[in-house]
Homo-oligomer: A and B are copies of this chain.
Amino acid sequence: MIFPEEINVRDVTLRDGLQNENYHLSTENKLRWLDRIINAGFSCIEVTSFVHPKWVPALRDADELARQLPMLEGVEYEALIPNQKGLERFMNTGIGTAKFFLSASNAHNKANLNKTTDESLNAVGDLIQQARKDKRKIVGGIATAFTCPYSGNVPYSEVERIAERLIDSGVDELGLGDTIGTAAPKRVYEYCSKLADKFPDALISLHLHDTYGYGLTNVLAGMQAGVRLYDVAQAGLGGCPYAPGSPGNIKASQVLEFLERQDINFEIKLDDVKTFDREFPEVLYKKQNKVQS
């Protein structure tokens, strides 16, 4: 087995950690948390999505949050962009990285984006061209890259086909998502290894959920396949809408402690991160008003 010297993590708390929550952090509170996350040592942070506020009320302050982001040397921000309107909003900000995405599963893509996978591939290609002209860094995200809540296992061939189109469009990173947390290490290892073989120059990252407790096993499988960048959320926020009450994104403190116990380095103060496990949910659930839906 391979245990690399260093692993990088990206904090996605303020985006994926919040987007399924019925609670809304104020922009001021998000910025306060962002400050603590940066001080703990995270240098790559996904802060929001330029989605229509109607769909994700928790992120309705994307434009305002972007305006107030502290621009710091060595800190990279990233935002999700679902469509042309989102790209226009993003272009008005100083956020350096744009993440465009679609689902490898046609059924999930239709449910989530109301498009076929091929329609989304074309749309994403157009968005990427525009963002590249503006010298933004670009992540191409493939959701349901392993399994889909509607259609089950996603064939590798489909993931490779989409990956190839994204790489041909010039993405700087390929992000594979186990969107619902049902992928197990065998498939994660297989798909990541094959993609790494097929596209040896691509930077591949993993976005994992811990819905069924497979989060760390998939980190381990990804490591064996050469993946060195993982999305994490403070306190494991971001439960899955298909499995109410289940754990969400892989938890920052648990992933880092898991790495530490295996002598794998990271640039983050683990003790700080452990305090977030308690404090973040407290702020989220106790001091904020529930969004009226």
Contact = CB atoms under 8 A, between A and B. Distances in A.
Interface in A192-230: 212-214, 216-217, 220-221, 224
A282 interface: no
A214 B184 contact: no
A185 B262 contact: yes
A42 to B, nearest CB: 21
A19 interface: no
A46 to B, nearest CB: 24
A72 interface: no
A186 interface: yes
Contact of A224 (B1, B182, B254): B1
A185 B1 contact: yes
Contacts of A214: 216, 258
B216 A186 contact: no
Nearest to A193: B1
B258 A1 contact: no
A189 B262 CA distance: 11
Copies of this protein in the complex? 2
Nearest to A216: B217
By CB atoms of chain B within 10 A, which of A189, A217, A262 has the most? A217
A191 to B, nearest CB: 12
A212 B1 contact: no
Interface residues of A, number: 22
Contacts of A220: 185, 217, 220-221
A263 B1 contact: no
A3 B224 CA distance: 13
B257 A212 contact: yes
Contact of A189 (B1, B189, B261): B1
Nearest to A189: B1
A230 to B, nearest CB: 14
B262 A186 contact: yes
A186 B257 CA distance: 13
A186 B217 contact: no
B217 A184 contact: no
A212 B253 CA distance: 11
A180 to B, nearest CB: 13
28 contacts: A1-B1, A1-B185, A1-B186, A1-B189, A1-B221, A1-B224, A182-B261, A184-B258, A184-B261, A184-B262, A185-B220, A185-B262, A186-B261, A186-B262, A186-B263, A187-B262, A212-B254, A212-B257, A213-B216, A213-B254, A214-B216, A214-B258, A216-B216, A216-B217, A217-B220, A217-B258, A220-B220, A220-B221
Name the 10 nearest CB pairs between A and B, nearest first.
A186-B262, A184-B261, A3-B186, A216-B217, A1-B189, A184-B262, A217-B217, A217-B220, A1-B224, A185-B220
